[in-house]
């Protein structure tokens, strides 16, 4: 590729000759821009000789036009000779279009901070309002299903129980066991310093049954089931399947949401029981291994450690958490717009929102149970 160039020939008396050489193309321009070298004195007339030009594209033509215009603007007479007809046409095209394009559009000014904050708040409020509407719609569908159970999608419910419940057993068991181990170990080290080893029982039972089991189960379910709800409904939305259901005369909330919500409200409490059992088992194993509190002692101490009330408190949270995860998951699925990237974005939002709301609800429960003195 012969690199483009511009040679200035100065025979004197204010007459300059510019000789264009080689390729004036978008890729070759960076090699010789900025051009041309400033003449030592002000020229009166410039003649551009394009005979040596081997290639010209829109980038080169634009550069040439700018150079010519720049000279013209400085009051210099400019003439172009020796342009091939094709190059001539290209130059004219670029000239006519660059006039139409006008001044370059400046990048939009960054939004003022206050306005951005306001928009953000407004968006969240609108989202919250839409979620509220969705909860209402789901509730009314569930109420109708309660009156007419034959209309309920039992098979979809079983599928939800299988995928959200049964298939989550291994991961929840393992994680809950490990959490029990961690709680017993971290607490046990402190208790041993005071010789109060046996209180590890109270610690494990209170922490695991009351707080951690419902929370861990709900968060795992939000991650593996809530996100799946969003992705399933979202991809149906993208493929117009949700619209197709409506035109067939089926309420998508009835078909897609109701069985998922009911399924999760049934599955999560069971998973919470499992998580509680496994967590306590993990704590027992650790207590026996590290703190010298054997299984027998552990179980004997357990009833005095408030096991029943902790268990009931923990269990009362599970259905609420389940409703949060399922509703948010389905809601975000219906918020999916056009395009596959929207599915991914809403899936992420579903998990983040669900976990956020779970923790808010847990805090609310703590306050509530504090009032009730449980």
What is the nearest approach in angstroms of other proteins to the Cβ of residue 264? 19
Q: Which of 27, 66, 89, 246 binds other proteins (CB under 8 A)?
A: 246
**Residue whose CB is less far from other proteins, 109 or 372:** 109
Q: Which of 167, 239, 292, 341 binds other proteins (CB under 8 A)?
A: 239
Q: Which of 158, 174, 189, 250 binds other proteins (CB under 8 A)?
A: 250
Phi, psi of 31 (to 5 degrees): -70, -25
By CB under 8 A, the residues from 7 to 66 that bind other proteins are: none
**Residue whose CB is less far from other proteins, 84 or 244:** 244
By CB under 8 A, the residues from 289 to 348 that bind other proteins are: none
**Residue whose CB is less far from other proteins, 66 or 239:** 239
**Residue whose CB is less far from other proteins, 202 or 254:** 254
Interface with other proteins, residue 244, by CB under 8 A: yes
For 115, other C-beta atoms within 10 Å of its C-beta total 10
Q: What is the CA radius of gyration of the chain?
A: 37
Q: Which of 247, 338, 370, 371 binds other proteins (CB under 8 A)?
A: 247
By CB under 8 A, the residues from 83 to 102 that bind other proteins are: 102
What is the nearest approach in angstroms of other proteins to the Cβ of residue 63? 23
**CB under 8 A: which stretch of 128-136, 193-201, 232-240, 362-370 binds other proteins?**
232-240
Interface with other proteins, residue 109, by CB under 8 A: yes
**Residue whose CB is less far from other proteins, 105 or 367:** 105
C-alpha dist (Å) from residue 104 to 58, 108, 149, 255, 350: 17, 12, 65, 52, 41
**Residue whose CB is less far from other proteins, 49 or 237:** 237
What is the nearest approach in angstroms of other proteins to the Cβ of residue 154? 14
Q: Which residues contact 45 (CB under 8 A, 6 or more apart)?
A: 14, 15, 16, 76, 77, 78, 79
- Counting residues that bind other proteins (by CB under 8 A) gives 21
Binding site for other proteins (CB under 8 A): 102-103, 105-106, 108-109, 111, 235-236, 239-241, 243-251
């Amino acid at each position: 590729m012969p690199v483009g160039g511009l040679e200035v020939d100065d025979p004197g008396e204010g007459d300059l000759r510019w000789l264009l050489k080689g390729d004036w193309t978008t890729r070759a321009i960076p090699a010789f821009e900025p051009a041309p070298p400033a003449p030592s004195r002000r020229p009166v007339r410039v003649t551009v000789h394009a005979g040596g030009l081997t290639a010209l594209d829109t980038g080169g033509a634009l550069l040439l036009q700018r150079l010519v215009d720049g000279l013209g603007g400085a009051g210099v007479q400019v003439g172009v000779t020796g342009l091939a007809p094709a190059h001539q046409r290209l130059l004219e095209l670029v000239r006519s279009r660059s006039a139409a394009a006008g001044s370059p559009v400046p990048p939009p000014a960054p939004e003022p901070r206050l306005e951005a904050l306001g928009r953000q708040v407004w968006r969240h409020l609108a989202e919250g309002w839409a979620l509220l509407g969705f909860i209402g719609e789901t509730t009314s569908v569930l109420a109708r299903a309660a009156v007419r159970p034959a209309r309920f999608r039992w098979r979809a419910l079983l599928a939800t129980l299988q995928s959200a419940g049964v298939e989550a057993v291994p991961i929840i068991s393992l994680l809950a066991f490990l959490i029990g181990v961690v709680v017993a170990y971290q607490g046990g080290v402190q208790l041993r310093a005071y010789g109060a080893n046996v209180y590890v029982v109270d610690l494990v039972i209170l922490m695991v049954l009351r707080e951690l089991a419902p929370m861990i189960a709900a968060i795992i379910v939000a991650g593996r089931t809530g996100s799946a709800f969003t992705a399933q409904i979202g991809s149906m939305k993208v493929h117009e399947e949700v619209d197709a259901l409506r035109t067939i005369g089926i309420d998508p909330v009835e078909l897609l949401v109701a069985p998922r919500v009911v399924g999760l409200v049934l599955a999560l409490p069971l998973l919470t029981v499992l998580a509680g059992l496994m967590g306590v088992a993990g704590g027992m194993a650790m207590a026996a291994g590290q703190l010298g509190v054997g299984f027998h002692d552990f179980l004997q101490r357990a009833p005095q450690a408030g096991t029943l009330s902790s268990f009931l408190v923990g269990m009362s949270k599970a259905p609420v958490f389940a409703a949060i995860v399922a509703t948010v998951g389905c809601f975000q699925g219906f918020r999916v717009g056009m395009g596959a990237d929207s599915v991914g974005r809403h899936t992420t939002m579903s998990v983040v929102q669900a976990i956020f709301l779970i923790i808010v609800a847990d805090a609310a429960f703590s306050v509530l149970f504090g009032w009730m003195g449980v």
